[in-house]
Structure 1
Amino acid sequence: MAYVSDFTKFINAWMAEHPEELEEQKKGRALWWDKPQTPAEQQANLASKVAQKPYPYQAD
């Protein structure tokens, strides 16, 4: 049997008692995360990325 934290148990029980909250959760996610992007926005996001050093804490 896999380990399940107390918090996960609490959330699973709470969601079982309040199924209407699933819809609220989806609305909140759509508000902040699930945004459609145009190809131009995707290109701008890719172009704005900065290359990361292999070890960021190394002094140059």
Structure 2
Amino acid sequence: MKFSKQFNGYQSEITQFINELKVKNPALEQEQLAGRALLWDKTPIDLDSQLRTDNSRVAQQPYVYQNEH
């Protein structure tokens, strides 16, 4: 039973909507990539600076509102 060959021309309503949206706004995919780059794609971490940052941290007191005086 091969179902994939039987329904070659079928497109769901969602697929049709997305295709129409892409035709109306051709820059949509570029805008999506720019938004992703802005929010999610981060620069690689420099391991030397990460190690220096970790080593330079000052230990926090267990109860921050209590002074040692």
TM-score, normalised via structure 2 length? 0.43
Q: Which has the higher helix share?
A: 1
Name the larger-Rg structure: 2
Which has the higher relative contact order, 1 or 2, with Cα contacts under 8 A spaced 6 or more apart? 1
